[in-house]
């Protein structure tokens, strides 16, 4: 694969796994009989991070469904056993999330709510900035994290067809350094221990969309170790986005199975395996956040659990690796 290429070139979209993120990712550039403006209404875009820290569970995201733009972030203080959440909405299509990441500075800014990512042009450091005012339901969030791009995992970069749609995602694990403040609590990130897991999507999902998804990360001698795990309706023969990250490699996985031990228990553990058994882990939740939106013909119903994974991945033992697991159902 050439080093510099785009997801869509001369109107033709590339499919498969890529060794690196395409220089430009804009699914709307693909030739189609459907007007571009109508296709934009079907495009779902987001850039988010899952933060890995021993005293904190946290994630942050900015997303644009083109009928609604929004941002959400949460922090679970393990010592206090307290979950705090912030969210804000904006006009659909207003975020203009970047098609190119080097030098990109995507931002969600509303009064009292600022989330900004600064992506470096080279193999230096990316930066996350959070500045969210306190509300009557949650304390203020603030801080900056620097992500070591030169010590990141190999990237996951996948373009594939879905039943009734198309998907593109880019993911990577970054050692993280800095401070995140949640009210009067301060969490210091150590790049030899802590991580930020990038999740970028630019996808056309089916109107009725479902998936089970999980991710986790830790650091071992040589670099980040972790996994991205998805079970969703697939087109036979298409590349899936599941993978294992080991130091110096991003290896594909297929046929992921999620088994909830006690479906009636909202904090039940999950057993997650791959068909070839290179991944065999158990996810033990520590807490849960729920999101539900009902917007007429559009609806979202999902929950995300945060906790830790134990088991084996690509021959490596995993013991208490922090991560998340979620169920997503929507009409998009």
pLDDT, block means (10 residues), the chain with 332 residues: 82 97 98 94 96 98 92 97 96 94 96 97 90 97 97 97 97 98 98 98 94 96 95 95 95 95 94 95 95 74 94 94 94 75
Q: Report the pLDDT value the prediction gives residue 79, as an integer from 0 to 100.
A: 96
Retrieve residue 283's tokens: 């996810």
Cα–Cα distance list, 160 to 33, 96, 119, 308 (Å) = 20, 23, 25, 29
**Which residues, listed in sequence order, are joined to residue 266 by a DSSP beta bridge?**
none
Question: CATH number for the domain including 168?
Answer: 2.40.370.10
Q: Report the pLDDT value the prediction gives residue 331, as an integer from 0 to 100.
A: 80
Q: Report the pLDDT value the prediction gives residue 301, as an integer from 0 to 100.
A: 84
**Which residues, listed in sequence order, are joined to residue 47 by a DSSP beta bridge?**
62, 200
Residue 139 lies in a domain: yes
Q: Report the pLDDT value the prediction gives residue 290, as an integer from 0 to 100.
A: 86
Residue range 38-68, pLDDT digits in tens: 999 999 999 999 999 999 999 999 999 888 8
Residue 3 lies in a domain: no
Structural domain that includes position 43: 8-331
CB 114 within 8 A of CB 131: yes
Q: Report the pLDDT value the prediction gives residue 3, as an integer from 0 to 100.
A: 65
Place of tokens 């969030």: 141
Q: Report the pLDDT value the prediction gives residue 213, as an integer from 0 to 100.
A: 97
pTM over 0.75: yes
Residue 1 lies in a domain: no
Q: Report the pLDDT value the prediction gives residue 1, as an integer from 0 to 100.
A: 41
Q: Report the pLDDT value the prediction gives residue 302, as an integer from 0 to 100.
A: 87
> Distance (Å, rounded) from C-alpha 164 to C-alpha 204?
8
């Amino acid at each position: 694969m050439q080093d510099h290429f785009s997801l869509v070139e001369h109107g033709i979209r590339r499919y498969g796994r890529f060794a690196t993120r395409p220089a430009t990712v804009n699914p709307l550039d693909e030739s189609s009989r459907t007007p571009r403006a109508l296709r934009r209404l079907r495009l779902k875009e987001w850039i988010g991070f899952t933060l890995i820290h021993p005293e904190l569970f946290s994630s942050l995201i900015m997303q644009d469904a083109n009928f609604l733009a929004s941002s959400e972030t949460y922090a679970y203080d393990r010592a206090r056993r307290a979950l705090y959440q912030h969210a804000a909405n904006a006009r659909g299509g207003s975020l203009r999330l970047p098609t190119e990441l080097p030098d990109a500075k995507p931002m969600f800014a509303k009064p009292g709510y600022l989330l900004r990512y600064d992506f470096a042009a080279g193999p230096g450091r990316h930066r996350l900035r959070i500045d969210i005012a306190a509300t009557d339901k949650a304390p203020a969030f603030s801080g900056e994290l620097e992500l070591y791009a030169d010590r990141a995992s190999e990237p996951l970069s996948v373009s594939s067809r879905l039943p009734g749609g198309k998907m593109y995602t880019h993911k990577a694990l970054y050692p993280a350094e800095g401070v995140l403040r949640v009210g009067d609590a301060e969490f210091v990130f150590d790049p030899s221990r802590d991580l930020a897991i990038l999740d970028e999507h630019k996808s056309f999902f089916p109107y009725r969309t479902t998936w089970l998804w999980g991710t986790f990360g830790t650091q071992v001698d040589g670099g980040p170790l972790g996994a991205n795990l998805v079970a969703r309706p697939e087109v036979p023969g298409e590349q899936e986005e599941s993978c294992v990250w080991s130091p110096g490699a991003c290896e594909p996985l297929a046929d992921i199975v999620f088994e909830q031990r006690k479906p009636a228990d909202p904090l039940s553990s999950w057993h997650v395996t791959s068909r070839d058994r290179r991944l065999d882990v158990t996810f033990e939740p520590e807490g849960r956040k729920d999101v539900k939106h009902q917007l007429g013909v559009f609806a979202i119903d999902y929950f995300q659990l945060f906790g830790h994974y134990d088991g084996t991945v690509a021959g490596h033992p995993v013991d208490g690796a922090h991560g998340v697991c979620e169920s997503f159902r929507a009409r998009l």
